Amino acid sequence: MTDPRVVSLAPSATATVSALGAAETLVGVTHHCDPAPDAGSAHGGESPVAVGGWLNPDLDRVADLDPDVVLTSDGLQADLAGDCRDRGFDVRHREPATLDEAVASFAARGADVGDRPAGERLAEEARERLDQIAEAVADRPRPTVYCEEWSDPPMAAGNWVPDAVRAAGGEYPFVDPGERSREVDPAGVEAADPDHLVVHVCGHGDRVDPATVTERDWSVDAPVHVIDDSLLNQPSPALIDGVERLARLFHPEAFPEASP
């Protein structure tokens, strides 16, 4: 069976394809993607072509790559997925909103690139890791956690992040699981009296000054943890790494072999 020619227009899809061991099928990615070193090797050994940003890729360049399948993700790419279909591309659009849906999407991505068994294995491994975390934090006091996805204005993270916090042994009273991230009133954060502030500003990696939060005009006294945004903002296998990272921050005594 010939390897499919895959263009990924979503960083989360690229990360998942790489985790599947299928990076060699990638012939095109966006500037925001970070494919594995062997990406593109099944099609001439060249690195995937960068086709633009994840919200504004050059679809003519995508067409030049003659893809068998184009991968998109997130509601922000819904219109882009439609534009790709209008051009006749075989589009696989995945839009998980919760942690369970994100894990299920790993299996779906395996099917998208022609390796359903690899996808099912990746999803099962993720569930096993989450079960291990749940066992480690069970019956421990649950700290209240505020997660900030954007800082100007301050926005509490939604989608799968509320699930991730709860899976890590915390409470998250700011956004319900599956709902979009939303702007918060500083007074509302103060009233919740969080025990931890987690900052994972979209697109900034871990390059955020904690003073952005600590020097804000609000009465919140809690440690600030700056986390690489790819660990919480992407519905890719990195999200499971993010849950593990949160669990070690909230319950270090449950993971004596690991430091945060």
What residues does 186 pair with on adjacent strands?
none
Q: 256: burial class by Cβ within 10 Å (0-12, 13-18, 19+)?
A: exposed
What residues does 196 pair with on adjacent strands?
145
**Average pLDDT taken over every residue of the chain:** 94
pLDDT in tens, 204-230: 888 999 999 999 989 999 999 999 999
Residues 24 and 93 in one domain: yes
Residues 203 and 102 in one domain: no
- Identify whether 259 is part of a domain: no
pLDDT in tens, 179-197: 999 999 999 999 999 999 9
User: What is the structure's pLDDT at 1?
Assistant: 58
Query: 15-52 burial string, b = 16+ CB within 10 Å, else e?
Result: bbbbbbbbbbbbbbbbeebebbeebbbbbeeeebbebb
Residues 10 and 125 in one domain: yes
Residues 16 and 111 in one domain: yes
What residues does 57 pair with on adjacent strands?
52
- CA R_g for the chain: 19
Beta strand pairing call for 26-29 and 49-50: parallel
Residues 158 and 70 in one domain: no
Residue 169 scores a pLDDT above 60:
yes
Q: Average the pLDDT over each of 31-40, 158-167, 237-246 and give the range with the smallest value.
A: 31-40
Beta strand pairing call for 69-73 and 91-94: parallel
Give the chain's domain count.
2
112 lies in which domain range? 6-129
- Identify whether 1 is part of a domain: no
- Written as six digits, the tokens of 112 are 């998208």
pLDDT in tens, 196-206: 999 999 988 88
Last residue of a domain, one of 98, 129, 160: 129
Q: 185: burial class by Cβ within 10 Å (0-12, 13-18, 19+)?
A: exposed
- Identify whether 231 is part of a domain: yes
pLDDT band at 37 (very low <50, low <70, confident <90, very high): confident
Spatial distance between the Cα atoms of 143 and 128, rounded to a whole number of angstroms: 24
Residue 46 scores a pLDDT above 90:
no
Domain containing 204 — which CATH number?
A: 3.40.50.1980
Residue 259 scores a pLDDT above 60:
no
- Written as six digits, the tokens of 134 are 């749940």
